[in-house]
Structure 1
Amino acid sequence: MFVTSMSTLNLFSLITAGYMEMNGKNKQYAKFFDAAKDENEHKLLSRNGMLLFYTPSFLMGLASFAIFNHQDLRFVMVVYILTIHFFKRILEVLFVHKFSGFMIVNAAITIGLSYAVSTATMIYAQYLSQESPKPCIDLKYIGLGMFLIGITGNFYHHYILSNLRTKGEREYKIPKGGLFGLVICPHYLFEIIEFIGISFISQTTFAFCFILGTIFLLMGRSHATRNWYASKFGEEFHKDIKALIPYLF
């Protein structure tokens, strides 16, 4: 009952968030939300806020190795890839991304807890699924391949973005290289591939609902990002560049 409720809640909340971002209502942690304008809220550096996003989920993954011993291969794969995913995010925050702004503390804590709860629920759902019949079609190795492609492509395009500005620069630039000539958010595209890989490895209802909701969220966020670049750079921004999916969206 808990997992079913969380599946429905995650799907609904992520689709709603994607719809809001598509309509220009950026969340308090989003790239184009200016936290500095809100003088009534407690703030912290964006780097520290991003660490609050990912660290609890990473620790949740590590703790799962101790809590759930001697589980089947699919369960072990799910825990490993979730832990690797958030560890990679932490490393990017510390050594790759460049930050110049602030984030509202309450938003950082809320999102960090949300990620941690979703991660814990996905692991718990995987634990429960071991008592169910095995899937008719085993997708875990296809999923592992998609996860590796997704996490590599995501890192590569994050690295391109990090090199757009030299130290001390704060002005945004139109990114170039990789798939940026086709879509403005290829890092989101590869993140979706990564998450689809996770759902293929897991093959649980919760994982499917979470990934489906995440796709809607990133579609909304990429649409908002494209609109922002088009409004800021005007004719400099090539109109054929899509938001997320080359030639389509």
Structure 2
Amino acid sequence: MGAEQITLRLNPRGKPLPNLPAELPISSDASVDALYGAVAKLTGYSRHRLRITKSDSSHLKPSPTATLEESNLYDQSSLFIKDLGLQIDWQTVFIIEYFGPLIIHPLFLLLRTQIYSFTPPFLQWTGTPTSTPPTTTQLTLCTMVLIHYIKRELETLFIHRFSSATMPLSSLIRNTAYYWTMGGLYLGYFLYSPSATDTPPHFFYTGLAIWIFAELSNFKTHLTLRDLRRPGTTDRGIPTGYGFNLVTCPNYMFEVLGWFAFAMMTGWKIPALVFWGSGLFIQTKWAGQKERRYRKEFGDKYKKKKFVIVPYLL
């Protein structure tokens, strides 16, 4: 069937959208992306803060290839337009997230005398002078944190390709709080205490070797995931290769392995174990969601995984 001019009925969902017309004439062979562009132009909003749903409440996902006819939209079809609010791009979100630990850990290490001099009595390390120089273990741990988060920042800038362009600005604090509080303030405060001593060599060097392996392996899996997505598209292939034969998300597997090694290098300090455990919990949840998404998206083409993050366990 050839292309024809159709008229779509537009309705606001939630709060009213200024300048949203009741009807939109458009060609039936226009792409869904073209529809988003037309609505964005009419309302004066960025296309990324708009969500379009059909009359059956299903989300009409942006696509440069799917046409309106292929999306079962015809003359007089009703669409519902929702304003998602101010948006921020995911790359900026990641940069802000990782920036917290990058500045907090060096500050705790460099300003430890001033910080611990003003520590409340119930948190003080009694009998330990605040002028004690940092240990070799503390200097190494701070260097590892810097290397880890600089790596994450560089991956964000040059490696990652995001499936969605933006997120609501209102969610920025929620998304960054974990890294700035748990990974920054909580972990940093206890790591660089003046009462700390060097970790026994067998824990220190074993943990360091595991950490280096985990960081390099995590980087390799990020390269694999990057190559699954063509630049400028949201389409992706099925991940295979190094680590993907064991679990759904080897990038998460190597991430939690690295922080486990980090906890080992601290001499199994409680804050380091808490940070590792919270990361394991969160990323296990994410990995389970990704496994379900892969099964739905790829169907029989996808080899289902029993373990999503830890082989033979989780």
The bucket for the TM-score relative to the shorter chain is 0.7 to 0.9
Greater Cα shift, 231-240 or 101-110? 101-110
8 Å Cα contact 1:78/1:123 also seen in 2: no
The yes-or-no answer on 1:186 pairing with 2:250 is: yes
8 Å Cα contact 1:50/1:108 also seen in 2: no
Deviations 1:40-83 (A, max 9, x none): 43211111111111112212234345324830111112211111
Deviation for aligned residue 1:136: 7.3
How many equivalent pairs are there?
A: 215
Equivalences for 1:219-230 in 2 at 5 Å? 219-230=284-295
The change in CA–CA distance for 1:132 and 1:245 in structure 2 (over 3 A counts) is: closer
Deviation for aligned residue 1:111: 2.6
Equivalences for 1:26-175 in 2 at 5 Å? 37=51, 39-68=83-112, 70-99=133-162, 100-118=164-182, 119-128=184-193, 130-131=194-195, 139-175=203-239
8 Å Cα contact 2:135/2:196 also seen in 1: no
Read off the aligned partner of 1:239 and give its amino acid letter.
K
Read off the aligned partner of 2:92 and give its amino acid letter.
N
- Which runs of 5 or more residues in structure 2 are unaligned? 1-47, 52-81, 114-132
8 Å Cα contact 1:183/1:243 also seen in 2: yes
Q: Among 270, 275, 278, which residue is 1:213 paired with?
A: 278
More helix by proportion, 1 or 2? 1
> What SS is found at the alignment partner of 1:103?
strand
> What SS is found at the alignment partner of 2:238?
coil
Structure number with bigger Rg? 2
Partner of 1:19 in structure 2?
Answer: none
> What SS is found at the alignment partner of 1:211?
helix
Q: Percent identity?
A: 22
The change in CA–CA distance for 1:64 and 1:240 in structure 2 (over 3 A counts) is: closer
8 Å Cα contact 2:208/2:261 also seen in 1: yes
User: How far apart are the structure 1 equivalents of 2:197 and 2:214?
Assistant: 29
- Which runs of 5 or more residues in structure 1 are unaligned? 1-33
Deviation for aligned residue 1:132: 5.7
Where relative contact order (Cα < 8 A, 6+ residues apart) is larger, the structure is: 1
Deviations 1:181-200 (A, max 9, x none): 33220000000110101111
> What SS is found at the alignment partner of 1:131?
coil
Deviations 1:17-55 (A, max 9, x none): xxxxxxxxxxxxxxxxx9864724321111111111111
The yes-or-no answer on 1:204 pairing with 2:248 is: no
Deviation for aligned residue 1:138: 5.3
More strand by proportion, 1 or 2? 2
